[in-house]
Amino acid sequence: MELSGAKILIESLKQEGVEYIFGVNGGAAMPIFDALYDHPDVKLIMMRHEQGASHAADGYARATGKVGVTLATSGPGATNLVTGIATAYMDSIPMVAITGQVFTHLMGNDAFQECDVIGVTRPVCKHSYLIKSGDEVAEVIAEAFHIASTGRPGPVVVDFAKDAQIHESLFRYPEKVNIRSYKPKVEGHPRQIAKAVELIHNAERPILYAGGGVTLSDASEELRELAIKTGIPITVTLMGLGAFPETHPLAMEMPGMHGSCCANYAFTDSDLVVAIGARFDDRVTGDLTKFAPNAKKIHIDIDASCIGKNVPIDVPIVGDAKRVLAEMNKLVHRVDIEPWMRQINEWKAQYPFEYEQNGDNIMPQYVIEQIYDLYSDAIVVGDVGQHQMWAAQYFKFTEPRQWLNSGGLGTMGFSLPAAIGAQLGCPDKTVVNINGDGSYIMTIQELVPAISMKLPLKIFIINNMYLGMVRQWQELFHQKRYAAVDYHDNPDFAQLADAFGATGIRVDRIEDVRPALEKAKAINDGPVVIDFIVDEEENVFPMVPAGAGLGDVIRGLA
């Protein structure tokens, strides 16, 4: 039977097991939305801005491990997706972003709502396709899903000309995808693995350094086995939090700019760093010349171009973390590093994450502690800024995919739409959105679909009336010249939530923090927004200033 390109697209998505598409309608994508109109299996989630749509698809992918799908029209619809595509690209999130495109005969003519989407998105996606004819659709979609979800995952853009959406052709979905130029290497080289194991067995001060790649390759079981079998202490990056339980005695918590002193000192003093699905990001390493200067380095990564990019590597292992760790686990045994562990435990005891109470103010860290106490099993979606760091420090994550945040691109406004995607992907889980006052207002419009769908999101705003992280840098490095960070003119977020149709609660006294969080727990017929009015000038510590070495961490201002 012949189907229109738009209908072939939907049938293809069904073949890929797509449950939800997050989108915003518009002229050049109308045939696709029309094909979705009465389709029983693929549900369209009507977001209020394309950026929100892309983050929602991303949040869905992060929470479930499946490919997120977002859909927008040509021109401005497509350009609004770009931030979300770049966010997914930086964190290697599997996503397929579909954009309508003007009729092929109009392309290149500066047509209404025309934009060269392939050109605009080229540097921020894993791959892209332009569909100019209906008979290309099935094959392109099969390839797009294959590329998005295999190797180092990432977003794939599919730009779909309107005439190709209308044009009818025969629908036949490819049974297998075979791209001769794309064969990700998943098995680690046995000789490299043997070399790595030998280094591990001979190290005196080894550490494991795991990143988001462990979660992406579903390797947290294997990671746990490696750490526990060898007895080597482990630090997990912002992107990997939960891949190893932070409550475990071997856990040193997050490394880097706002990481634990223990993890940063351990890097500096170590004689072996085993990096697994982590990319030696500048926020982790600090000054490269002072980074783990005495350590040999093993790097396991599926993306060969990540290895040796920032830091010279002694034993590179290109492969899928799950497979490589499983092979390593067959060979490793417990290492005798008792003096090193004594040192690690001393650092841990001496330098825990801590803060001082300032008068009667609600301390932001206290709010996070209370959230953790009441919602320890929840999926937590963080935004970007000080609250993100406090959440990473004070919430103890124990499961992979429990902590979702924009780690690489650092996209403010990510979290509310991402929480919507996560909640739809995991309907039986409680989803907590920890947001900032600056980031919340960037995508606040996405409260609307959350309310329409009665999603029981717990939206907790750590409101210090500033772009807090920038203000902190201004305080420390710009003589307190608070340029363009004062957000005291923001609206009352609790009243605004009520106006949208959600439940809004404003909390400005310490004693109301816990009761409000408990109340939120009982509201399950829609989102609840709690606006926590916190200490305005609290800073995130510890802090490794930009350009300093990890050993030069500032523990606090006092």
Partner 1 sequence: MAEERHIFSVLVENRFGVLARIAGLFSGRGFNIDSLNVAETDDPGVSHMTIVTHGDAQIIEQIYKHLNKLIDVIKVIDLTVENHVERELVLIKVYAEPQRRGEILQIVEIFRAHTVDVGPDSLIIEVTGDEGKLKAVVDLLRPYGIRELARTGKIAIMRGAPR
Interacting residues toward partner 1 by CB under 8 A? 118-119, 122-123, 126-128, 130, 147, 179-182, 303-305, 308-309
Report angle CA 439, 440, 443 to the nearest 5 degrees. Answer: 95
Minimum Å distance from CB 311 to partner 1? 11
The answer to whether 469 is a known catalytic residue is yes
- C-beta of 218: minimal distance to partner 1 in Å? 22
Query: Smallest distance, Å, CB 143 to partner 1?
Result: 9
| Alpha-carbon torsion (556, 261, 372, 66), positive or negative | positive
Of the pair 294, 305, the CB lying nearest partner 1 is at 305
DSSP output for 250-275: TB----STTS-HHHHHHHHH-SEEEE
CB 140 → partner 1: shortest distance, Å?
12
Whether the CB-CB separation of 209 and 196 falls below 8 Å is answered with no
- Give 137 or 533: the residue with its C-beta nearer to partner 1: 137
Question: Does the annotation count 222 as an active-site position?
Answer: no
Which residues contact residue 214 at a Cβ distance below 8 angstroms, ignoring those fewer than 6 apart? 220, 223, 236, 240, 243, 276, 277, 321, 400
Q: How far apart are CA 528 and CA 416, in angstroms?
A: 12
Q: Tokens for 214?
A: 């462990």
Comparison of 309 and 555: residue with beta carbon closer to partner 1 = 309
Least distance in Å: CB of 338 to partner 1? 38
Q: Tokens in use for 469?
A: 């992280």
Nearer to partner 1, 309 or 334 (CB): 309
Which listed residue (112, 198, 354, 454) is catalytic? 112
What number of residues does the chain have?
Answer: 558
By C-beta, is 123 or 359 nearer to partner 1? 123
Looking at beta carbons only, is 27 or 308 nearer to partner 1?
A: 308
Q: Which of 7, 66, 126, 162 is catalytic?
A: 162
Selection from 45, 44, 55 nearest residue 442 by Cα: 55
Among the options 14, 15, 30, 113, which is catalytic? 113
User: String of b and e for 173-206 (b: at least 16 CB within 10 Å)?
Assistant: eeeeeeeeeeeeebebeeebbebbbebbeebebb
How many angstroms separate the CA atoms of 296 and 289, rounded?
Answer: 14
| 276 contacts 214 by C-beta, under 8 angstroms | yes
Residue pointed to by tokens 């202490």: 233
Catalytic (active site) residue 162: yes
Of 370, 469, 474, 538, which residue is the catalytic one? Answer: 469
Least distance CB 25 / partner 1 (angstroms): 27
3-state secondary structure 488-534: CCCCCHHHHHHHHCCEEEEECCHHHHHHHHHHHHHCCCCCEEEEEEC
DSSP character string of 410-473: --TT-HHHHHHHHHHH-TTS-EEEEEEHHHHTTSGGGHHHHHHTT---EEEEEE-SB-HHHHHH
Catalytic pick among 7, 11, 33, 50: 50
Q: Which CB sits closer to partner 1, 131 or 252?
A: 131
Nearest to 434 by CA among 331, 529, 499: 529
Q: Which is nearer to partner 1, 306 or 530 (CB)?
A: 306
Minimal distance, residue 174 CB to partner 1, in Å: 17
Residue 309 C-beta: closest distance to partner 1, Å: 7
Active site residue 50: yes
Helix axes 190-202, 321-331, angle to 10 degrees: 60
Number of C-beta neighbours around residue 350 at 10 A: 11
Residues marked as catalytic: 50, 112-113, 162, 469
